Amino acid sequence: MSETRQIKELKPYVPAADLCRIYEEMEDIAFLDSSLVNELGQYSILGLHPYLKLVKEEDGYTVNGKAGEGSFEEFVRQYLQEHSDPNETKLPIVSGAVGYFSYDYGREKEKIAAKDVADVEIPLAVLIFYDVFVVEETAAKRVWLIANGITEDAGRCLEKLEQEIRMAGGVQGVRQAPQSPDFRAEPNFEKEAYKQALEQMIRYIIEGDIYIANMTQQFRIRSARTPAEAFQILRENNPSPFGGYLNYGTFQIVCASPERFLRVRDGRVETRPIKGTRKRGATQQEDEALRRELEQSGKDQSELLMIVDLERNDLNRVCVPGSVKVTELFAVEAYATVFHLVSTVEGVLQEGKTVMDLIEAAFPGGSITGAPKYRAMEIIDELEHGRRNLYTGSIGYLTLDGACDLNIVIRTALYKDGIYHLGVGGGITAESETEFEYEETLQKAKAILEALR
């Protein structure tokens, strides 16, 4: 354990989401939010006092604003190894980075050219290493303040932090903002054009190019809501285990993702692909019927099976041979507006392999590309109206003791220059009905649109 690090419990208890409110306007703060407290949503993490910022662009990367040498991946791999720092607590992170990898980062990595120019310009990836973390154990309602002594003396840093929290005093509850008067949501597909693109995708499947692919439409949304307000409303009305609020100054990310992409803890790897969605019912009876319909849907099960197979192959590239196993096949999970069908695949990372090797092997996630992955990504680029950008990438943390937890960026709005950008999509197979698939995208957009309305 780092000799300079200090860890202290915050008393009296203040939820991490309320602490995020104190710092929400600060550039480069990151909050990973488990507003849905369950087996998955055990911790919320706030990163403060950045000391190392890595920004990956199409033409290279920067380290604290200066051009980096070699590749971005090599730098991260080497940094994680040279600054290895064991975590002797039960907390998920005491030292490390929080950030994102966009879908376009994965597209570039796979060397798939993009036919469209970006609708919104943000870096391909950002990783920020923080000196200070606030970690909440969500079920136990305990909050830990962690200072690593990098930007200033750890003890002094914690004193200041406690003082800031005391002075902010009881920042609580969701702001009761009125409805946004200038709310407007414009899709980048007309309904019929989206259905035609789906038909073309189904033709590719029937002709044997691919087995399954994910098809996306995107919305440009005008709203008077600030990203911080939208985030607080979203977490209240649509709790999720892998949500977040990240403020990068020129753009902000508001996320309520239900899907884990990759977790590594003590060398054990887990991925939890989602395939299959039903809306929640208006009555208990209808709700139960929709849950059962999803549970028994042969189409959704076959979709999920294809993705599980893909994820097993991806994990096998960096895991100990024979260690990759499907530990849960068709679980139904309930969220505020939808049900999802989910599987869990686990493995053991090979000796000498890092989280960065795993990301390179498995990114972007199979559940939001398709199978085979490379051809599915080519078809996605051909048929979708615009680059995905951040949507279907990953947000999460990498630790200096070799752990990580990354989501799939769905149910997420990216805010820049007065516009929110929201992607929604679904898995397409030979049996897909275009009307149903189109409606499913609107169902998935519902939670974010309501938060911005």
Catalytic residue among 259, 346, 384, 440: 259
Q: How many Å apart are CA 416 and CA 297, to the nearest integer?
A: 39
Catalytic residue among 137, 229, 275, 384: 275
Q: For residue 259, indicate whether it is catalytic.
A: yes
Q: For residue 160, indicate whether it is catalytic.
A: no
Amino acid at 210: I
Q: Is the dihedral of CA 135, 238, 103, 116 positive or negative?
A: negative
> What are the catalytic residues?
259, 275
